Structure 1
Amino acid sequence: MRLVERRLVESTATLTITYVVLAVAVFVALFPIALLVLNSLKPAAAIVQNPLSLPETIRWDNFSRAWKDARFGQTFLNSALLTALTIVLVCSTASLTAYVLARHKVKSWKIVTFYLLATTTAPIQLFLFPLYFGFARLGLINNVFAVSLIYTAIYSPFAVMLLRTYFLAVPREIEEAAIVDGASHWQVFTRVMLPLVSPGILTVALIIGLYSWNEFLIATTFLQKADRLTAVVSFFLLSGQYSSDWGEIMAAALIIVLPVVVLFVALQRRFIEGIAGGSVKG
């Protein structure tokens, strides 16, 4: 009995500590978002005076002014188009590459792995000036599709390595059975393999979409016209050189963050399943 009681006490203590740690983690994660929502409803003077105080008067006009001054009607469309193009290009090219690397023995696989890791970790600042001068000579500045090609080159190595683990987890017998039934290699890939690895493709699409939506450096370098700016760049331009309307800025930040949060909450189960599935086999 004493042993059982002791184990019960230990399990209860462990459970309590776990809940406390999780509660602290949730507070740390949600506190900035709560502070953002709180300050988006306050005037600028109240934010400067005490950013942690509750709003005495709710300023809904912060959102309307932010939407108008940042021209979110146009810049949101630019960001959505750029993000959609990047997702399509990355998922298309990375799935084809990952399938080949997973199903064919590559003698120089270690070199390929090193290349993918190196390109994933290499900072974009190393290639920014050569890319800019090359794109300027080709007349591709302020071209959304050209910027999506840069994003594709940056994000594809990560997508290839993640999707390869999904293709490796699919038994070869499924492919062989489809080929015996008369399917071509392209039909095997599009009708058999892609549906099986769809959780991985969704995971890649969510991650790449988040990166593309929030990217600033490349967007502000290659998209310079007012009608080509992305939402993140237009948000940055709200900040003045000598003074800033922090209520408007907080409202604009909330407008930018809200679509991403809603999308992640809606697809979080599929996203977590995709991440867990991609870590099974490497």
Structure 2
Amino acid sequence: MNHAISRGTLTITYVILALGAVVALFPLALMVVSALKTSAEIVADPLSLPHVPQWINFARAWRDAEMARSLLNSVKVTGLTVVLICATGSMAAYALARQKVRGSRWIAVYFLATTTLPIQLYLFPLYFGFAKLNLVDSIFATSLIYTAIYSPFSIFLLRTYFLAIPVEIEEAAIMDGATRWQVFSRVTLPLVSPGLLTVAVIAGMNTWNEFLISTTFLQGHAVQTAVVRFYSMGGQYSSDWGEIMAAALIIVAPMVAFFLVMQRRFIEGMASGSVKG
């Protein structure tokens, strides 16, 4: 009886997961189909298959949206953000996990609370400050904003990884003559590499897809990211939806491919990070 119940529960679970996968993948599949159709076909029947695949949509989207330059800008912003978050977040998380600082628990709570603050609260003051310092249209300065936004969550998450490492490992390294920096960089940091990968994936995907900050602080044509260039493709009175869907697919494809390659380590990292808080 228990065996039958477990099989039934397993079947229901798989059905629910399959339905969830269909719901999640349907927009992506529709985008792929639409990217191969003419605008007239999309308007006439969005769910139909293309009569003749319009591969030229990708070439036009690449040219009109200047994808070569905009994708490179997105890579620069995302790469800088990930490096800065992993470098600064790991040191801050290690200090919160290991150093006996008065109020360290409240500091961790503060980092968690700041993840709920919307960017709109400080967008305009931040823009005026950046404009006064001539930092608008600076890819590095924009990456600093992303770093500040995603650091609280990253620090809070990495702290759980450092807490899960036995202190005895660090004490043994110190007895062997290692400095505190050597303990951090050569002993504990390699042990939390799954957490660093998790932080890099989350921060990287959010930065790659973010629009509001990019369009506010990267207004120059030469420094616009792919998402901002994609937004400019829509016309006021008419739009070529086949070309727009092709551009969207070009922008989404790198992140989808990256996540598919790293998904196993990402899931393992999230699971191990939730063991101890």
Residues 56-113 of structure 1 show CA distances to partners (whole Å, capped at 9, x for unaligned) of: 1110000000010000100011000010110111111100000000002232134313
- Trace 1:27-66 onto structure 2 (pairs within 5 A): 27-66=22-61
Aligned-partner Cα distance in 2 for 1:41–1:129 = 40
Which residue number corresponds to residue 21 of structure 1? 16
Aligned-partner Cα distance in 2 for 1:14–1:85 = 46
Which residue number corresponds to residue 72 of structure 1? 67
Which residue number corresponds to residue 131 of structure 1? 126
Tell me the secondary structure at the aligned position of residue 147 of structure 1: helix
Which residue number corresponds to residue 204 of structure 2? 209
Which residue of 156, 167, 170 maps to 1:161? 156
Which residue number corresponds to residue 227 of structure 1? 222
The residue type equivalent to 2:119 in the other structure is I
Which residue of 237, 241, 259 maps to 1:264? 259
Aligned-partner Cα distance in 2 for 1:150–1:7 = 54
TM-score, normalised relative to structure 2: 0.98
Aligned-partner Cα distance in 2 for 1:18–1:186 = 47
Which residue number corresponds to residue 177 of structure 2? 182
* Paired residues, number: 277
Aligned-partner Cα distance in 1 for 2:163–2:125 = 37
TM-score, normalised relative to structure 1: 0.96
Quick check: 2:114–2:152 contact (8 Å CA) kept in 1? Answer: yes
Percent identity among equivalent residues? 64
The residue type equivalent to 1:76 in the other structure is L
Which residue number corresponds to residue 107 of structure 2? 112
Deviation at 1:51, TM superposition (A): 0.5
**Structure 1 unaligned regions, length at least 5:** 1-5
Aligned-partner Cα distance in 2 for 1:139–1:206 = 30
Which residue number corresponds to residue 141 of structure 1? 136
Q: Identify which range, 13-22 or 250-259, moves more after superposition.
A: 13-22
Quick check: 2:96–2:108 contact (8 Å CA) kept in 1? Answer: no
Aligned pair 1:249/2:259, yes or no? no
Quick check: 2:137–2:219 contact (8 Å CA) kept in 1? Answer: yes
Which residue number corresponds to residue 94 of structure 2? 99
Residues 103-145 of structure 1 show CA distances to partners (whole Å, capped at 9, x for unaligned) of: 0223213431332123211111111111111111111110011
Which residue number corresponds to residue 3 of structure 1? none
The residue type equivalent to 1:140 in the other structure is L
Aligned-partner Cα distance in 2 for 1:208–1:112 = 21
